[in-house]
Amino acid sequence: MSSDTDGTVPALIALGETMVLLAPPDATRLHDADQVRLTIGGAESNVAAHVAALGHHSAWIGALGDDVLGRRVHRTLTELGVDTRWVVFDPDAPTGVYFKDPGHGVLYYRAGSAASRMTADGVAHLPLEHAAIVHLSGITPALSQGCADLVDAVIDRVREAGRGELSFDVNHRAPLWAAADAAPVLLRLANRSDIVFVGLDEAHTLWGSGTAEDVRSLIPEPAHLIVKDGDVGATEFSGDDTVFVPAIPTEVVEAVGAGDAFAAGWLAARLAGAPAEERLQGGHRRAHLVLQSTEDVVGIAPTEALA
């Protein structure tokens, strides 16, 4: 596992916001909890952490407040084996915070965060063209216009290099932007990507899609489109091939973070050269772990095998 100080280029680079996460240590509702546990979470860094645990060199790129919470995020990701050498600390903005209310969603305190102040200006010095996979999500363009420009700049850079694959998780977050505003932006970004993850429920909310095949008709460009249907399973469209793998039966504690875990399991299998069925199985296994916890990056230990 590469450290955050060596000179090697990560196999996967994920870019976005990471926040401090506060959640009850069990399934207790937030308003009944006497204690909360402080961990971290963010769609893209969750992916990087899981991919690192599965034995691949991964990096997370983002901005944190130059504060105690930002240092906690940075330290935790580094301890999880994620390469953090390109992280920026902003002295003029805070690190975002969110609370999980088990089984009832999340509460965000991220307005004006350091990550929301990211722009396309810093893209030139990043080694994006050398990574096998660059992973983004639909959360980042919702944070600010600067972040939206950043996402397009990253995609442009990867596209121009013509080497690695661009992975995009649609990840529509209703508290950040309404479906009517998000729908055209997320559809455009999805069709500019090589690998796309989307939940059938969010596809229905955004574009009115009723089936995985409907989603494919709207998003024909990616070489790999993965449509997740909750506890039913996931369908992968790759060229002319379609593969469905059922989900692992799970007693759900909290669903937030499971989509990131699924994407990471799939991407790690992709990096290992696995076929479609094994990629989907890898995604389900990671999601199964997270669904049983209030943490986003549960069950992670560096050098964990891709079994």
Q: Which residue type, as a one-letter code, is found at position 293? A: S
Active site residue 83: no
Structure tokens given for 261: 């875990």
Please, which residues have CB within 8 angstroms of residue 37's CB and are 6 or more apart in sequence?
22, 23, 24, 25, 294, 295
Alpha-carbon distance 69 to 113, whole Å?
12
R_g of the chain, CA atoms, integer Å: 18
In what order do the strands lie in the sheet containing 133-137? 58-61, 12-15, 133-137, 165-169, 195-199, 224-229, 233-238, 241-246
Of the candidates 151, 116, 122, which has an alpha carbon nearest to the alpha carbon of residue 18? Answer: 116
CB atoms within 10 A of CB 207: 20
Active-site entry in 90, 194, 260, 296: 260
Catalytic machinery residues: 260
